[in-house]
A and B are shown apart, each in its own frame.
Chain A
Amino acid sequence: MSNTHSIIAEEVYKHFGSVKALDGVSISGETGKVLGLLGPNGAGKTTLVRILATLLKPDRGNVRVDGIDVLRHKQQVREIIGLAGQYTAVDEILTGRENLVMVSRLYHLPRAQARLRAAELLRQFDLIDAADRPVKTYSGGMRRRLDLAASIVARPNILFLDEPTTGLDPRTRIAMWDTIRTLVSDGATLLLTTQYLEEADELADKIVVLDHGKVIAEGTSDELKANMAADFIDITVANPEDTNKASQLLQVLSSESPHTDERRGSISIAVESGAQSIAEVVRLLDGEAVSIAELNLRRPSLNDVFLSITGEEIVEEEAKPKRRGFGRRSA
């Protein structure tokens, strides 16, 4: 399997005190493909990435990257991986160029080659204009790009991107997707973690859904969505007392029963085609004099995937207690 799979984790356990951050997780990322690790905050995504990237020791389990045992040969693994974490790991005081030269030098590139590589990356990541400004003047998107550039200085075969777009505005996020796609088209194997179904959908060849330190589903994006409707329509009725009545009326539009919240007067229905169904929704409710306060059409979210897999909504919680003074991040 290690010939065709560059990223392998088998039965990995990691506990922080009483919290099971990883509870027997196995994943495998096919060489040259993108493996998406999807899950809410605290699912264990970052913990798994940190273990694969040599930063954290698991309690139990096997981890191999490009056929190399990560626990035994850390330094060797570090030569072939790139890591861009959830929090940008660049120096604020240095300029973008100095950051990249520094990282290149720490990969032991000769000075002249380090400078060339930095210039090349600045061009590639569209940071030429800001190259000689301190990073503290950069926008969030620019920092992420610089961080990504730093992670591929050594042209790694294997790249770990931990929530590369969390906290970015939608436009910057889409630009980031393009950048990531280009990296992968050059042949690197990528492990990407994300909280966004849409992102996994856009970028990943295979998706592993993680929750509470366990793999709860895996497959291609299509496989995961196979038993899920294409679109969702969220309706809020003006009078919450109409919720059940509206829910019964709308039942005919969907093969699944609508999710309702009587207190807020909201109904969510899964439909084959949102554009066609939305007119029906209005017609049906209007016909019975149920007035609508709000009407939204949307693509399935991570929450909907969770609903269809586990029947439960995502419960947001921290998987790990805040660690002492170091790396404040959720797993």
Chain B
Amino acid sequence: MSQYSASAALVPGSSHSSAFQRFLWNFSDTFVVMRRNLYAYQRQPELLVFATIQPVIFLLLFTYVFGGAISFSTGGDYINFLLPGIIIQTILFASANTTVGLSVDLSKGIIDRFRSLPMSRAAVLAGRTSADTLRGLFTVLIMIVAGYIIGFRFEDWGSGIMGLALAVAFGYAVTWISATIGLFVKDPEAAQVAGFIWLFPLTFASSIFVPTQTMTSEWLRTFAENQPVSVIANTVRDLMTGTVNPDEIALSLLWIAGIVAVFLPMAVWRYARVASR
């Protein structure tokens, strides 16, 4: 058996570590928790397979079912309009996973273990949001491959990759909203619904599938044109089709920063409360 107190402490305590060291622990703790969450996808590949098949089916259905009708208003190949939009939709829907995953964790003993450890308070959440963002990136890459097969083309690879990075950054911001929701709902079953429901109006009342000017109701059009999902979708679409508009990019980055600035602290605050009841 191991030796106890007689030997020097095994663990590098915060009282003996520099502030800088403690700051770095925020990142290493997040990385450790992120790896734990990624293992879950690796061990249950069916989760990943279905999460990937669903958006590909969306892509095919929209392209071939609505493509003919919609391409009148988009003035060109619908696939070039659609794919960037569906990427945003996929990223939004994938974030529901953060809500569910977090509420599952909260209903089990593992959170008590994390909370009894001298680890970073934000790491449990940040490890979850970053793992889910990586998963989102993986799905998006598959979709671009599928898009290429049915005729999508980047106008310019440089701006295309910028668009991809912006989409993933937006996905990261949205996982913090989802995390906050996951910390407010009762149980995993409720989280299934709560994680998705708010995404539908944001996804459909946006420029993801159709140009907003085709919407007939004026207030709906005003909402759709100005809400963040459209702002991001338009910017990503422009970047992927070769247009770099600095104002648009700045507005998108502002939205992303704003969402993180509001929801990250709110999630951390809520986590501390929920977990100490």
Within 8 A of A (CB), among B228-277: 274-277
B3-11, B88-96, B210-218: which lies at the interface: B3-11
**A102-B106 in contact given A76-B14, A83-B112, A323-B277 (Cβ < 8 Å):** no
Q: Is the interface of A mostly helix, strand, loop or mixed?
A: loop
Within 8 A of B (CB), among A111-148: 117, 120, 124, 134
The answer to whether B112 touches A85, judged by C-beta atoms less than 8 angstroms apart, is yes
Q: Closest Cβ of chain A: how far from B266's Cβ, in Å?
A: 18
Contact of A103 among B106, B117, B123 (CB under 8 A): B117
* A120 CA / B1 CA spacing, docked (Å): 9
Within 8 A of B (CB), among A154-205: 154-155, 157, 182-183, 185-188
Sample of 11 further A-B pairs with CB below 8 A, known A90-B110, A108-B28, A109-B12:
A76-B13, A76-B15, A83-B112, A102-B32, A106-B33, A106-B118, A106-B123, A107-B117, A108-B119, A324-B277, A326-B275
Q: Closest Cβ of chain B: how far from A327's Cβ, in Å?
A: 7
* A124 CA / B3 CA spacing, docked (Å): 12
Q: Please, which residue of chain A has its CB at the minimum distance from the CB of B43? A: A93
The answer to whether B39 touches A94, judged by C-beta atoms less than 8 angstroms apart, is yes
Q: Closest Cβ of chain B: how far from A323's Cβ, in Å?
A: 6
B129 contacts chain A at the CB level, 8 A cutoff:
no
Report chain A residues within 8 Å CB of B33.
Answer: 106
A34-42, A49-57, A238-246, A302-310: which lies at the interface: A49-57
The answer to whether B4 touches A186, judged by C-beta atoms less than 8 angstroms apart, is yes
**A325-B11 in contact given A57-B276, A157-B5 (Cβ < 8 Å):** no
**A89-B110 in contact given A75-B14, A102-B32, A109-B10 (Cβ < 8 Å):** yes
Report chain B residues within 8 Å CB of A263.
Answer: none
* A117 CA / B10 CA spacing, docked (Å): 10
The answer to whether A187 touches B5, judged by C-beta atoms less than 8 angstroms apart, is yes
A23 contacts chain B at the CB level, 8 A cutoff:
no
* A187 CA / B119 CA spacing, docked (Å): 25
The answer to whether A155 touches B2, judged by C-beta atoms less than 8 angstroms apart, is yes
* A107 CA / B29 CA spacing, docked (Å): 9
Measured as residues with beta carbon below 8 angstroms from the partner, the interface class of chain A is 35 or more
Contact of A187 among B6, B111, B116, B274 (CB under 8 A): B6
Q: Please, which residue of chain A has its CB at the minimum distance from the CB of B6? A: A187
Q: Could you write out 9 A-B pairs with CB less than 8 Å apart?
A: A53-B116, A79-B15, A79-B118, A83-B112, A90-B110, A103-B117, A155-B3, A182-B1, A186-B3
* A65 CA / B117 CA spacing, docked (Å): 15
A20 contacts chain B at the CB level, 8 A cutoff:
no
* A7 CA / B216 CA spacing, docked (Å): 69
B40 contacts chain A at the CB level, 8 A cutoff:
yes
Report chain B residues within 8 Å CB of A102.
Answer: 32, 35-36
* A117 CA / B11 CA spacing, docked (Å): 11
The answer to whether B4 touches A105, judged by C-beta atoms less than 8 angstroms apart, is no
A78 contacts chain B at the CB level, 8 A cutoff:
yes
A22 contacts chain B at the CB level, 8 A cutoff:
no
Q: Closest Cβ of chain A: how far from B51's Cβ, in Å?
A: 16
The answer to whether B116 touches A55, judged by C-beta atoms less than 8 angstroms apart, is yes
**A155-B40 in contact given A55-B112, A81-B116, A91-B110 (Cβ < 8 Å):** no
Report chain A residues within 8 Å CB of B110.
Answer: 89-91
Measured as residues with beta carbon below 8 angstroms from the partner, the interface class of chain B is 35 or more
The answer to whether B12 touches A108, judged by C-beta atoms less than 8 angstroms apart, is yes
Report chain B residues within 8 Å CB of A83.
Answer: 112-113, 116
Contact of B109 among A76, A88, A117 (CB under 8 A): A88
The answer to whether B274 touches A326, judged by C-beta atoms less than 8 angstroms apart, is yes
The answer to whether A124 touches B115, judged by C-beta atoms less than 8 angstroms apart, is no
A98 contacts chain B at the CB level, 8 A cutoff:
yes
Report chain B residues within 8 Å CB of A50.
Answer: 112
Report chain B residues within 8 Å CB of A85.
Answer: 109, 112-113
Report chain B residues within 8 Å CB of A93.
Answer: 39-40, 43-44
The answer to whether A108 touches B11, judged by C-beta atoms less than 8 angstroms apart, is yes
* A78 CA / B11 CA spacing, docked (Å): 11
Report chain B residues within 8 Å CB of A185.
Answer: 1
**A105-B277 in contact given A98-B39, A188-B4 (Cβ < 8 Å):** no
B103 contacts chain A at the CB level, 8 A cutoff:
yes
A152 contacts chain B at the CB level, 8 A cutoff:
yes
The answer to whether B277 touches A186, judged by C-beta atoms less than 8 angstroms apart, is no
Most chain B beta-carbon neighbours within 10 Å: one of A89, A124, A134, A328: A89
Report chain A residues within 8 Å CB of B123.
Answer: 106
Q: Please, which residue of chain A has its CB at the minimum distance from the CB of B24? A: A108
B185 contacts chain A at the CB level, 8 A cutoff:
yes
Report chain B residues within 8 Å CB of A187.
Answer: 4-6
B68-110 interface code vs A (CB 8 A; 1 in, 0 out): 0000000000000000000000000000000000010011111
Contact of A107 among B11, B106, B107, B111 (CB under 8 A): B11
The answer to whether A325 touches B187, judged by C-beta atoms less than 8 angstroms apart, is yes
The answer to whether B1 touches A155, judged by C-beta atoms less than 8 angstroms apart, is no
The answer to whether A106 touches B114, judged by C-beta atoms less than 8 angstroms apart, is yes
Q: Please, which residue of chain B has its CB at the minimum distance from the CB of A107? A: B11
Q: Closest Cβ of chain B: how far from A152's Cβ, in Å?
A: 7
Q: Closest Cβ of chain B: how far from A83's Cβ, in Å?
A: 4
Within 8 A of B (CB), among A36-78: 50, 53-57, 75-76, 78
A25 contacts chain B at the CB level, 8 A cutoff:
no
